[in-house]
A and B are shown apart, each in its own frame.
Chain A
């Protein structure tokens, strides 16, 4: 969207202006949805949680809380918290949630088989990471954020993000290795 004025949009949201709400939604919903889907690999949950993020934004602004600037960072950070809550509630049930039908909803052609197998292993490995490691990978590789953008959402300095992503990737490749051997 061109000429998206975040400050003006925030004012509109505070006034519950439909046009501003629509503009903010159009601008950021895809990113929030993709983020949650990346984290949970569940389309229905992604839809519900991404919607919830925007509801919370409205409520926060109505009660004089909510972001003053950097709306996208606030939305992704809120999404991350909701996902973390969800994962806490679903603790020890994640492997069932990663059922094959989520990844294999369409019949797999032969040349797709390896790719799907790899994707399934990746998913399984990804869920073994800590929420913070999942978060940083979702931002850097799911959203394609730069180091600086990631540090803004995580509210950490750049060096801390470098260390975190290093540990996250190290844990991920270890975990993929373990899954491959199963």
Chain B
């Protein structure tokens, strides 16, 4: 019975839609007419409420909002994935080589892991990095892997400078010092001459940049071009990790001019994550930094020019603007640095204890950790960050 009613109603609705009137429609179902009539009347009312056209201003506003959002998403996508553009151009080589390597089992990839720019195996190493990126599907994992590769670039250049080899390089990092054409970009000494192509906008300390140039036998990078990157991009404001330094000496001693200051630190693989248990998460390394808190606005803080998000952070100690803190975290898929842990290293708000790069400080007061790291006293001009990697921040 019910099915018959449902069917009759549907037939009547269709007939009404075709322009018949209710009486004519119900004449086909005299036994159900009493039940169907009020429903059909209600349906006619429901149809009259269907509304008019969308107002033009509404349509324009919503369209503009959507396109604006799309532009923001494009920008967010582009900034942390700047490596993906060259990656695409290398796609054919990447896939070809990857296939060949898998098939031949030559161990070429393994052999290339220590290659430096200028080495014959270096393209293999970079290609393999691209292959790995292709197979990381989690945005967070990809960001972290890309950050690791940026760190690897710093390490390679550091080693090139140590062995005094001329080789074309490019890397990204934070400008931490600019003095008489001698810059420091994430711990790498960079020579900026009149021939260096610079962006129209002035580059201040703390700005993220890409440096393209040549390593020089004098122990510096001769910059051919410096490009300004968008603020907040997912690049590690790191120094070379020092892994290449076989005897544990301070690499900066080999650089031509006084290096130092990144108050920050090091890529520290998150050893707490079990690679065997969670293959996806094995890439989710955390980074550890230290620096001076420059501003605190809600959950968004600035520490040595680095904008960080602290809403997930475990905070140890009373943090206020000006204090020296050690903090850990990771880059999220949008390139934001998410802090997971903050520890106050110095309760004093004295800015002389920290490198204020990027914050407008005029001094080269980069001895931030000197007051807090007693173990560094053995080294006259170098105080060592509390990490085990042997990274050092000079006075």
Contacts and interface: CB of A to CB of B under 8 A. Distances in A.
Contacts of A142: 46, 49-51
Nearest to B58: A47
B66 interface: yes
Interface in B38-81: 38-43, 45-51, 53-55, 58-59, 61-63, 65-67, 69-71, 73-74, 77
Interface string A119-135: 10011001000000000
A25 interface: yes
A29 B62 contact: yes
A162 interface: yes
B73 A173 contact: no
A107 interface: no
A166 B73 contact: no
Interface string A56-67: 001100100000
A170 B39 contact: yes
Contacts of A109: none
B249 interface: no
A34 interface: yes
Interface stretch (B3-11, B114-122, B125-133, B308-316): B3-11
B123 to A, nearest CB: 29
Nearest to B42: A173
Interface in A102-141: 118-119, 122-123, 126, 137, 140-141
Contacts of A162: 6-7, 9-10
Contacts of A172: 39, 42, 46
B53 to A, nearest CB: 7
A166 B46 contact: no
Contacts of B13: 140, 165
Q: How large is the interface on B (under 10, 10 to 19, 20 to 34, 35 or more residues)?
A: 35 or more
Interface residues of A, number: 45
Nearest to A125: B42
B2 interface: yes
B46 A122 contact: yes
A167 to B, nearest CB: 9
A55 interface: yes
A147 B58 CA distance: 30
A25 B63 contact: yes
Contacts of B7: 162
B39 to A, nearest CB: 4
A58 B6 contact: no
A33 B66 contact: no
Nearest to A163: B6
Contacts of A166: 5-6, 9, 39
Nearest to B66: A54
Interface in B267-324: none
Contact of B66 (A21, A118, A137, A141): A21
B59 A29 contact: yes
Given A122-B49, A147-B10, A177-B38, 9 more contacts: A16-B70, A30-B59, A33-B62, A59-B73, A142-B46, A143-B50, A169-B43, A170-B39, A172-B46
Interface of A: 16, 18, 21-22, 25-26, 29-30, 33-34, 37-38, 43, 46-47, 50-51, 54-55, 58-59, 62, 118-119, 122-123, 126, 137, 140-144, 147, 159, 162-163, 165-166, 169-170, 172-173, 176-177
Interface of B: 2-3, 5-7, 9-10, 13, 17, 38-43, 45-51, 53-55, 58-59, 61-63, 65-67, 69-71, 73-74, 77
27 contacts: A16-B70, A18-B70, A21-B66, A21-B70, A25-B62, A25-B66, A29-B63, A30-B59, A43-B55, A43-B58, A51-B65, A51-B66, A55-B69, A62-B73, A118-B45, A119-B49, A122-B46, A141-B47, A144-B47, A144-B50, A159-B6, A163-B6, A165-B9, A169-B9, A169-B46, A170-B39, A173-B39
